[in-house]
Amino acid sequence: MAVIDALTQSTRPGVGAGRAAPSERWGRLALLAPSIILLIGVFVVPLAIMLVRTFTDPHPGLENLTWYLGDATQRRVLVRTFTTAAKVTAVCLLLGYPYAYAMVAAGPKLRAVLTLLVLVPFWTSLMVRTFAWVILLQDNGPIQRALAGIGLDNLHLIRSNVGVIIGMSQILLPFLVMPLYAVMSTIDRRLVLASSSLGARPITSFFRVWLPLSLPGIGAGSLMVFISSLGFYVTPALLGSPSDALVSQQIYTQVSGLLQWGRAGAMGLVLLVATFAILAVLMLSIRRAARRQTRQAEDATS
């Protein structure tokens, strides 16, 4: 009964929509308390510790940040990390968009099979999938032999940035497909048929109708893949080489091999700030695009 009362209270006369009594607000906060405590314990506290060590280990000051920002090698690693994440996002988008559209256009049985194929990687260990790519991409592996059969025997995929991109793309592809499918499944396909009946070609209908409506899924999935790619360690460590190391590998080296916690904290801090800056720019661009579309819609109706 308490649940029914809570659901129907906003519809009662005299009760403002979205408002709740103080006791109800405290009850909602109590429900969120375990999640808040977990978030603080596993994210906020370790992040705060690394932030403190950035400015105190081994000596108080900006020594670690000065070292990291002034080292040309570390700057190249940082740029390589972001470019690799961008490439992985692009590959996942090129592969995931047609796949998500096929899930929407397919019948119930085929859609179930396609969904199962997307979800299977979630049920498999990350280490198992990465070692499977090690076997497939190794110098005498099946992919290398197939490439040698068509005259590309000089192309080495293991211990290279290309192999890292292949492995990370396969692992992160479901994180782009599912948001895309969730958005595409809500698009009214009759809009495409309507544009076709008005004389638009299929390619025009796609770019003028379907693609704009699927942009929220593209944005959400791309952000998930891009941010996840920035912190990958296992896959780049097993498929890549020291000359193609990413920031996560450099942080591991500083902590585990050199015991330089302050420098590792500086790397993490710069990576975090750069990520937030990119997200801020993207969110600003999305808001401006949404406002532009709203203005165009208002102008069209006026």
CATH number for the domain that contains residue 52: 1.10.3720.10
pLDDT at residue number 299: 62
Where the chain has pLDDT below 50, the residues are 1-18
7 assigned to some structural domain = no
- Rounded to whole angstroms, the Cα distance separating 185 from 189 reads 9
**Integer Cα distance of 141 and 164 in angstroms:** 16
How many independent structural domains does the chain possess?
1
What is residue 32's predicted lDDT score, i.e. its pLDDT? 84
* pLDDT in the model for residue 166: 92
Encode 161-197: b = buried (16+ Cβ within 10 Å), e = exposed: bbbbbbbbbbbbbbbbbbbbbebbeeeeeeebeebee
Q: Is residue 96 part of a domain?
A: yes
| Domain assignment present for 37 | yes
The confidence score (pLDDT) of residue 7 equals 37
109 lies in some domain: yes
Residue 6 counted as domain residue: no
pLDDT, position 180: 92
Give me the pLDDT at residue 11, please. 41
Domain housing 108: 31-301
- pTM for the model stands at 0.81
Residue 25 located in a structural domain: no
Residue 229 lies in a domain: yes
In the prediction, which pLDDT does 69 show? Answer: 87
- CA–CA gap between residue 165 and residue 88 (Å, rounded): 6
Whether residue 96 contacts residue 177, with contact meaning beta carbons closer than 8 Å, is answered with yes
- Whether 43 is covered by a domain: the verdict is yes
